[in-house]
Structure 1
Amino acid sequence: MNSQQDKKNQRQQGFTLIELLIVMVILGLLVGLVGPRMFRKVEGARQKTAKAQIELLCTAIDTFRLDMRRLPKDLDELVTKIDDPNWEGPYLPKKVPLDPWGRPYVYKVPGDEGRDYDIISYGLDGTSGGEGENKDITSWESLEGGAEGKR
């Protein structure tokens, strides 16, 4: 009777050290294989979000330009009422968004290479240039079709 009770007590004590180590190794392998893929997807989503926000800002700027017959001096003019009867904003639903990395978009008037304006997010590193997750996202590269020519 003691041997049956001893086996029952052993089962109730929990996992052995070997079993725990095996589980930890399996979890480590899963994190090592799946983790990098998940991080790449997150970074790709941030870049897509930046492109979508830049398109939204370009639309707001173009609408402002139609109403005011000029470009905004800065992006805050898209949401802050100015003393002009032609202003029919706000041109953005809320405040001017930050880029997905938490920094303000760069708005240049006039833009480079003959463009009327440029909007830029400098990516993860926050500096000009870069590749992959550090790549700059710009208004002239984000927009497709014929509309981007003079933006």
Structure 2
Amino acid sequence: MSASRSIAGFTLLEMLVVLVIIGLIASLVGPRLFSRVDSSKVQIAETQTRLLRGAIETFRLEVGRIPTAEEGLAVLSTAPSDERAKARWRGPYLDEAVPNDPWGRPYKYSIPGRDGMPFAIYSLGADGQPGGEGNDADVGFLPPKS
């Protein structure tokens, strides 16, 4: 038997070349993936505000009024303190607690809304500031312009 064996493996240079190629691909693909994550958060916020609007409309049909600004969205999960409204309340109107927006902040609720809507339910977007564009824009059923 011959004592010569060949040992198969990668050299350090080959490993470095592969890592550089992987890094280049990640730098090209990564920003596109992260921009999609941001746009999907906007879509989630739009869907959640529609869900909250539906719950508020159900509350209005049963109680006979929309939640006050002081009650806010909490009244969708817990009965109002007003005895007359409490007698008509058939909630909770959501399966779970009122969600935060996709950026981890509570949704805003105010009276009145824009364009004749009796209330506003919205998120301030990625930047958490009123106004903005793109992913920073306010999302939902907005309050009147000031």
Same fold at TM > 0.5: yes
Number of the residue aligned with 1:81? 79
CA distance in 1, matches of 2:133, 2:65: 34
Which residue of structure 2 lines up, in the alignment, with residue 120 of structure 1?
122
**What is the DSSP-based 3-state SS (H/G/I as helix, E as strand, rest coil) of the residue aligned with 1:28?**
helix
What count of residue pairs does the alignment treat as equivalent?
A: 134
Mapping of residues 1-150 of structure 1, within 5 Å: 4-5=4-5, 8-9=6-7, 11=8, 14-73=9-68, 74-82=72-80, 83=83, 84-112=86-114, 114-139=116-141
Shift of 1:22: 1.1
Q: CA deviation at 1:134?
A: 1.1
Could you tell me which runs of 5 or more consecutive residues in structure 2 were left unpaired when the two chains were aligned: none
By how many angstroms is 1:33 displaced? Answer: 1.5
CA offsets, 1:2-30, max 9 Å, x none? Answer: 6x33xx24x2xx42121011111111111
User: What is the CA distance between 1:62 and its match in structure 2?
Assistant: 0.7
Contact 2:50–2:140 under 8 Å retained in 1:
no
| Equivalent residues of 2:113, 2:141 under 8 A apart | no
Query: 2: CA distance between counterparts of 1:107 and 1:131?
Result: 21
Residues 28-87 of structure 1: CA distance to partner in whole angstroms, max 9, x if unpaired?
111012111111111111111000000000000011011111111210001102342110
SS of the residue corresponding to residue 109 of structure 2 reads strand
Read off the aligned partner of 1:125 and give its amino acid letter.
D
Secondary structure at the counterpart of residue 116 of structure 1: coil
Q: Identity of counterpart residues, as a percentage? A: 46
Shift of 1:116: 0.9
SS at match of 2:122: strand
- CA-CA distance at 1:111 after TM superposition: 2.5
| Letter of the 1:90 counterpart | P
Q: Secondary structure at the match of 1:56?
A: helix
- Ranges in structure 1 where 5+ consecutive residues have no aligned partner: 141-151
Provide TM-score, normalisation by structure 2: 0.84
Q: 1:144 maps to which residue?
A: none
Partner amino acid, structure 2, of 1:43: D
